[in-house]
Amino acid sequence: MQGMNCAHLLREAESQLDMKGVPTPALDAQVLLAHCIGRDRSFLLAHPERELSDAEARRFRLLIARRMNREPVAYITGMKEFWSLPLAVTRDVLIPRPDTEIVVEAALNLFKGREKARILEIGTGSGAISIVIATEREQATVTATDYSQEALEVAFRNALHNGAEKRISFLCGDLFTPAVGTYDIIVSNPPYISERDFDRLEPEVREYEPRSALIAGPDGTEFHRRLIEGAREFLADGGWLVMELGAGQKKALEKMMHENGYCDIVFHHDYAGVERVVRAQMRR
């Protein structure tokens, strides 16, 4: 362990991760080493000669061993940034993705003239969407539900850490079961992976993230259908439903929404040009 500096350990770790087929070996090694020594990645780049103690080197190699088994970096560090906010993550919740920020953007853009809007998030997981909305629109009233009590505990800790705990009500229950009254915006990032596609997912997702938050029936739209049908009862007149969706699901969801009386249906693309978010309005 003697004479192990940042540059040496990063080269060693990058080579090991690359041999295991990890998609971003250099980045992952840097993130894990920075986490290990309590610094950020810029420190590693500025101080490649920084020597690690025996304990630090051992700990880093243990973290790299976990990553070589394809455990996601966010679960190893216990943290993921979303909308520039730090969020704790455990294996009870999905890791927030950049694409889900498009859901947040779509919802925030509906606030014009609705600064005191009532918001309902279905399936909050880590709390990412609700926490961002609560911090960006401080006059809004936000309710976040999840069927998993463990997930809600993670979400509440994240809200507390980001100063949003007083503006969000966390309720446990399946879909709309805990909801009361009507809402101006209902938002959700539901499960949307089909049963046939699940086995094709990368091992980081397939083997570590909560299966129940990923799979949604034979074609991946089972939860969307339940959201589209259930939201009719809870949307105020002129209210909006905003959902994330999977690639190739546009036509099916558009059909469901038309059949359930929604109008002004708009799809938003992700950074790869895929239709990733849909918003639709309910008129009485």
Q: What is the per-residue pLDDT across 179-234, written as a single tens digit (0 to 9) for each?
A: 999 999 999 999 999 988 999 999 999 999 999 999 998 889 999 999 999 999 99
Which 8-state DSSP code applies to residue 65? H
What percentage of the chain has pLDDT greater than the value 70? 99
Give the pLDDT of residue 1: 41
CB 225 within 8 A of CB 249: no
CB 188 within 8 A of CB 130: no
Res. 174: pLDDT tops 50: yes
What does each C-alpha distance from 247 to 90, 105, 250, 260 come to in angstroms?
26, 19, 8, 22
Give the pLDDT of residue 12: 94
Give the pLDDT of residue 148: 95
Q: How confident is the model at residue 3 (pLDDT cuts 50, 70, 90)?
A: low
Strands 118-122 and 183-188: parallel
Res. 48: pLDDT tops 90: no
Of 35-44, 143-152, 256-265, the poorest mean pLDDT is in: 35-44
Instruction: Round to whole Å and give the CA distance between 276 and 254.
Output: 13
The tokens describing 215, both together, are 């799979």
Which 8-state DSSP code applies to residue 273? S
CB 139 within 8 A of CB 116: yes
Give the pLDDT of residue 105: 96
Which 8-state DSSP code applies to residue 185? E
The domain locations on the chain are 6-69, 91-282
Res. 45: pLDDT tops 90: no
CATH superfamily, with its number, for domain 6-69: Ubiquitin-associated (UBA) domain (1.10.8.10)
CATH superfamily, with its number, for domain 91-282: Vaccinia Virus protein VP39 (3.40.50.150)
Which 8-state DSSP code applies to residue 95? P
CB 43 within 8 A of CB 52: no
Q: What is the pLDDT of residues 69-111, one digit of tens each?
A: 999 999 999 999 999 999 999 999 999 999 999 999 999 999 9
Res. 2: pLDDT tops 70: no
Give the pLDDT of residue 114: 77
Res. 160: pLDDT tops 50: yes
Q: How confident is the model at residue 262 (pLDDT cuts 50, 70, 90)?
A: very high
Taking all residues of the chain, what is their mean pLDDT, rounded to a whole number? 94
CB 88 within 8 A of CB 158: yes
Instruction: Round to whole Å and give the CA distance between 106 and 141.
Output: 17
Give the pLDDT of residue 116: 87
